[in-house]
Amino acid sequence: MLAPRWLLIAFISLVAGTGSSAEAAQPQTVRVGVMQSGTVQWEMDVIRRHGLDSAEGVVVAVTPLVGKDASSLALLAGSVDVILTDFLWVSRQRDGGADTVFVPHSTATGAIMVRPDAPIATPRDLVGQRLGVAGNAVDKSWLVFRAYGRKLLGVDPAQAMRPAFGAPPLLNELVGRGEYPAVLNFWNYTAPLKAQGYRELVTVREMMQALGMQPTTPLLGWAFSARWAVTHPGAAEGFVRAALGAGRRLTEDDGEWAVLAPLMGKADLATRLALRDAWRAGQVAHSTAAEALAAAELFRLLTEFGGADLVGDAQAMNPGTFWDGVNF
């Protein structure tokens, strides 16, 4: 069970007090695992350029990784200190005995995008149609859509539609070639489609709202070991505050996005603006007990459709999943 905040602070103070003043002044290195094609590299770039890490007494060292699985393994193996992942993964690790904790970062979700020439006006028109679905059968967006279909359409999309699971960029290519009339993709892949004139049929956020869920539930967050946070005084909190500082700059300053253009590959201006707006819409400005409660409610919904493949044997989110070591 996660230590109470007062005990954590007391322990940190004790550890910090045992070293020399010179040692205490040394910035602590935080190794952040970042997927090479992930959008989190934008924030890391802002942190580096503006020295937001040193201002918080830490040094952010980015470790490039090739995918989500590599990120998870790197954190569990101790090769990195922090990764970006979802609260479901963190909860499952805790159920297995790990001390991983989660700090909210983003509420960004995807959407179902429809080709401009497709005769699809409502979600019900997808019945019997092929639908590209990013990820796999236990991806959060797909499970939310299944719940939405059951409640709002009276059908389970898994049976009533013809889902085709795949990698996000491949699905965009296939829907572009007309092989699918619509695609359920992640936010950073729906933004380019929107810039190309595709229609947004329904967003995952709208689905959650229709299901009575909190649409601003933080799906993604920073994950790290609670033990690491205790034995490295100020590292976790300093990193989180540096990341928040980067988020504020990207939210308030359009000029930052012009500097980030090279990190967006070959995206044209319309796509970059769509990515900017989608990223901003998903930013988490605060972390409170309400966010944890909303995530626990979503967890229960997703277990109904994802089962053991998604969350293992757990029926509820591990109560220590959300870290209480920093408030913002």
Question: What's the rounded Cα separation, in Å, for the pair 297 and 147?
Answer: 13
User: Average of pLDDT values for 78-95?
Assistant: 95
The reported pTM is 0.87
Residue environment code for 89-99, b if the CB has 16+ CB neighbours within 10 A, otherwise e: bbbbbbbeebb
pLDDT one-digit tens code per residue, 158-170: 999 999 999 999 9
- Whether 105 has a pLDDT exceeding 60, the answer reads yes
Question: What's the rounded Cα separation, in Å, for the pair 90 and 99?
Answer: 9
The alpha-helical segments, DSSP class H, found in 67-223 are 68-77, 87-95, 140-148, 157-160, 168-176, 187-195, 204-210
The alpha-helical segments, DSSP class H, found in 21-125 are 21-25, 40-50, 52-55, 68-77, 87-95
- Whether 148 has a pLDDT exceeding 50, the answer reads yes
CATH number of 5-107+218-311: 3.40.190.10
To the question of domain 111-210 being in CATH 3.40.190.10, the answer is: yes
Q: Where in the chain is the domain with CATH 3.40.190.10?
A: 5-107+218-311, 111-210
Greater confidence (286 vs 142) lies with 142
Q: Which two tokens stand for residue 208?
A: 């959650």
Dihedral pair phi/psi, residue 294, rounded to 5°: -65, -40
Contact between 187 and 219 under an 8 Å Cβ cutoff? The reply is: no
The predicted structure's pLDDT at residue 284? 85
Q: Which two tokens stand for residue 145?
A: 């859509």
User: Average of pLDDT values for 48-54?
Assistant: 97
- Whether 30 has a pLDDT exceeding 60, the answer reads yes
* Lowest-pLDDT range of 11-15, 126-130, 189-193, 217-221: 11-15
Please state, for a pLDDT cut of 70, what percent of the chain lies above it.
91
